[in-house]
Structure 1
Amino acid sequence: MDATQLLKGVLDLAVLAVLDGEDGYGYDVVRRLRAAGLEEVGDASVYGTLRRLYAAGHLTSYVVPSAEGPHRKYYGLNVSGRAQLEIATKTWHGFADTMAALLTTDPEVAA
């Protein structure tokens, strides 16, 4: 199974979860996702997700000057983003529980 296809379906949730702990700028979010085990996540996918979540009203943003290069645009969760994270988390747990049950069902019992 191609993990990148699964990642596309849960990238919003993953980005919200990463930002729940601490605000971050684009590449910082990418780095944290990869450190968490999502090595296949693409930079462009994360930047697009951040823009989409911001446009949907789930994130705040602010600019911080950087001594090492251009200013960095940080994103953080707002009230709507926290509510979306809660909804998406419940949806994910329900889906994961269903898949776990399907994958552990004894085929002879199901027949």
Structure 2
Amino acid sequence: MDRDQSHTAETLVERTRARAGFLVVFCSDLAIFGAALAGVLWLRHGTGSNATEVAAILTSAFTTIGTMTTAYFGIKSMSNTAVSLRQHEPKDPPTDPEEPATRPR
């Protein structure tokens, strides 16, 4: 496999990982939203609407959604930065001409 095919394969894998990760976060956010909505509706129809309980459910749901989504994008951006830095580093580290090739033990 030559360099272009390897780069294309790595790009395809990275794109697939990004899409799958986003899909997982999106579906999790929808599940949290659905659970919060079900809880609010259950409280409203079952026991009467208590504003404090509804506010607690909505606050915790949106905090969880915000935290999870922010964490995903933060981790993804750091991963992209690491990949970018790794691609631009030299293949062989420079050697110090004054340092001996072998070190005494």
Range of TM-score over shorter length: 0.3 to 0.5
Higher strand share: 1
Structure of higher CA gyration radius: 2
| TM-score normalised per structure 2 | 0.40
| TM-score normalised per structure 1 | 0.39
